[in-house]
Structure 1
Amino acid sequence: MKVFLRTVCITLLLTLMAGCVTDTYVSDENIDKFDDLSVKKFLIAEIQPTVEPEKKIYLSLVSHFDFDKSILKPEDIAELDDFIAKVINLKGHIVIAGHTDYQGSDDYNEKLSFRRSTVIQQYLAARIPVENYTFEVAYFGENNPIVKAHSLKANALNRRGIVIFTQA
């Protein structure tokens, strides 16, 4: 029995030491505490999530923009109205991201995606108490397609706006 316990203890000790020798994890803020060590990796678990578990998060997808347009369609208005109903009594941060398909120049698509983001923001701001929210408007042009293809269906899916609410 003593031999068995000794073997288990030695195996456990060697396993722990091997883990420490091969992977040293120290955060940026604690690296000065280890001046004599060569630290190459950082503990990902020390990075605090930006959203606390008890906070509400809502997502809305506005996905019916016509080619070269930034006009909300009835389907998207219904989607945004549903989004508003969920966040109207909350305070938080709203991120709006506009996108386009691949057609058009990069500069033109950035401006078009900005117009799409802006029209969504204007719609929301006219219907919710804006003092309860901070807004962030982002626009990506054609850079983040949902579908990486050149077809009418792919183009339609890539012409979109995304709205994300995070409770404060």
Structure 2
Amino acid sequence: MTSISRLSGITAIALGAALSMTAGLALAGEKTISADQISRALQPKQPITRGLSAGAQQVDTAAQAKEATFINSLRNRSTRSLSLGEREEVAQLAATKPKIDLEINFDYNSAEISKASMQAVQELGKALSDPSLKGSTFVVAGHTDASGTDEYNQGLSERRADTIKRYLTEKFGINGSDLVTVGYGESKPKDANAPLDPANRRVQVVNMEVSKTAAK
């Protein structure tokens, strides 16, 4: 693979990877999504404890506390400081969390958001400003397709995640410590059967459902 194939104009990424298994909100094919739709898609899931034994509830509570401790340990960390093990643990936890797809375009061979995509990012900023999401920790995860070297793609995915975080903090006043950025390069394609598909070029936003005080 070479990075030359990447230099073909504006590169597109999709922000998010569908809702969690139980959310069921179909947004595929929509070019613009409102802040209200994003906010509803990212709402924390209600815990299901009815019918569980006291022992099972204790195990569930302990698991949630362990998860909260891990996520809180990533707050205020730079994207590049996360180890491979930490990135994999984030991905495993994010698999069951609320998330959403937005299409974001970046300038050619760049981590700069294109003018055409500003509205989508602004809608995301409005959504994350919703009081109902206040206190949640969000993961912003960058992904690329398989063109280019592994090293190049890893760096590009991290820069794009950082760009989204910087825009949200500077333009909407989102607390930077509420946004955990991580890059996966080409390692976690949305469509593994088509590694060069533009759908694999995305930044995923996930509500980790962890508050600042959850681990205290």
**TM-score interval for Structure 1 and Structure 2 normalised by the shorter chain:** 0.5 to 0.7
Partner of 1:82: 123
TM-score scaled by length of structure 1: 0.57
Distance 1:140 1:74 in 2: 25
Contact 2:105 2:113 in 1 (8 A): yes
TM-score scaled by length of structure 2: 0.46
Distance 1:144 1:123 in 2: 24
- The two structures, once aligned, show a CA RMSD in angstroms of 3.3
Distance 2:205 2:157 in 1: 13
| 1:91-139 Cα distance to aligned partner (Å, 9 max, x none) | 3212110011101111111001011111111111112334485221100
Distance 2:103 2:149 in 1: 22
Q: Which has the larger radius of gyration?
A: 1
Partner of 1:97: 141
Contact 1:91 1:132 in 2 (8 A): no
Partner of 1:106: 150
Contact 1:59 1:165 in 2 (8 A): no
Distance 1:44 1:142 in 2: 38
Amino acid of the structure 2 residue aligned with 1:121: K
SS at structure 1 position matched to 2:137: strand
Contact 1:65 1:159 in 2 (8 A): no
| 1:141-165 Cα distance to aligned partner (Å, 9 max, x none) | 00111112155xx1x1111111224
Give percent identity, aligned residues only. 24
Contact 1:101 1:145 in 2 (8 A): yes
Query: Structure 1 120/71 Cα, relative in aligned 2: closer, same or farther at 3 Å?
Result: same
Query: Structure 1 85/44 Cα, relative in aligned 2: closer, same or farther at 3 Å?
Result: same
For CA contacts below 8 A with separation 6 or more, give which structure has more relative contact order.
2
Instruction: Give ranges in structure 2 of 5+ residues lacking alignment.
Output: 1-54, 68-97, 212-216
Distance 2:111 2:206 in 1: 19
Partner of 1:64: 105
Query: Structure 1 96/45 Cα, relative in aligned 2: closer, same or farther at 3 Å?
Result: same
Cα displacement (A) at 1:58:
5.9
Distance 2:181 2:174 in 1: 14
Query: Structure 1 121/135 Cα, relative in aligned 2: closer, same or farther at 3 Å?
Result: same
1:161 paired residue among 198, 203, 209? 203
Distance 1:142 1:107 in 2: 10
- 1:126-137 matches, cutoff 5 A: 126-131=170-175, 133-137=177-181
Amino acid of the structure 1 residue aligned with 2:124: F
Partner of 1:23: none
